Amino acid sequence: MNPIPPVVSRALRLGVVAAALLPPGPAAAVPARCDAAQRALFTCSAGRKTISVCGSRDLAPSAGRIEYRFGRARAAELRYPPAHVEWRRVTRGGTLTFSGGGGAFLAFTRAPYRYIVYTASGRGWGPRSGLVVEKKGRRIAGLRCTGALTSELGPALFEAAGIEVADDAFELPR
């Protein structure tokens, strides 16, 4: 595997690449954090950026909506999926098993990219949470949560919302 050049690596850590993967549009006026009419299924800060998964209050196996958001707290730089895309077609959930721990994740696919929010804990390394961005199955960015974490990720959410199980896992950032 070729190492990522330092300039690109720094941009990845700052989330610049993750925000640039979708073209800007009217979504920029939406906050990166969930609004009062939504449930925060996952949200945390990663430096000056916010990583969120927002769900509608009526979320059920055949109702509601989930949306991934990334950006500054007051303005999302990336929202996915757009309103015209059926979110269940591009969203998968999964669990992780580690020695002395485990975790859960939600993955949003927009080929060739996949945005994965996760929370995990393992013996010897403790709790971790954040965002992984993959392109064609290879990790191109990884941001760890640095602030308070809100997370409902796990089998109970996946079943209650009708989220299909992911066929593949991902490499957890160190």
Segment 10-30, tens digit of pLDDT: 444 444 344 434 443 344 456
Contact 129, 119 (CB under 8 A): yes
Name the residue with higher pLDDT: 25 or 157. Answer: 157
pTM across the whole model: 0.82
Per-residue model confidence (pLDDT) at position 30: 66
Q: Taking Cα atoms as reference points, which of 39, 77, 79, 80 lies closest to residue 59? A: 39
Spans of all domains in the chain: 6-165
Interatomic CA distance for residues 114 and 2, integer angstroms: 20
Amino acid, single-letter form, for residue 129? S
Interatomic CA distance for residues 172 and 152, integer angstroms: 19
What are the residues facing 55 on neighbouring strands?
Answer: 39, 66
Segment 94-139, tens digit of pLDDT: 999 887 889 999 999 999 999 999 999 988 888 999 999 999 999 9
Angle value at C-alpha 81, between 128 and 152, nearest 5 degrees: 35
